[in-house]
Amino acid sequence: MKLLSRSEEIVLIAIWRLRGNAYGITIRDLVSELTGYDWTLGAVYVPLDTLTRRAFVEKAASKPVASRGGRSKCLYVLTREGRNALREIREVQDVVWRGISRSAFDEK
């Protein structure tokens, strides 16, 4: 079992949430919104490349877009393996965090 890195996990979740509209810019915008950090496109494309090589996502070309001069966008789609990887990392996190309340980190 090779666990997802945190950035891979976040990018996969963004692709799942964007359902059919996941391309570089929309993924970057969503992960920036979800995490509260400004992600660069490079910070998105590095995990995307890894996720594609591991067959957790597939690339698909969109229909040509007029605003892009008739060029297509490179869309990313979550695969069954990607959904399984998300399920697995969620289960690991649940086990690791079991018994630790959020208030355990509050200063006393």
Pick left, alpha or beta for residue 86 (phi over 0 → left; psi -120 to 50 → alpha; otherwise beta). alpha
pLDDT digits (tens, 9 = 90+) for 23-72: 999 999 999 999 999 999 999 999 999 999 999 999 987 676 666 666 77
The model's pTM: 0.86
The maximal CA–CA distance of the chain, rounded, in angstroms, is: 59
6-97: in CATH 3.50.30.30: no
Q: What does each C-alpha distance from 100 to 35, 68, 106, 107, 108 come to in angstroms?
A: 22, 49, 12, 15, 16
Domain ranges of the chain: 6-97
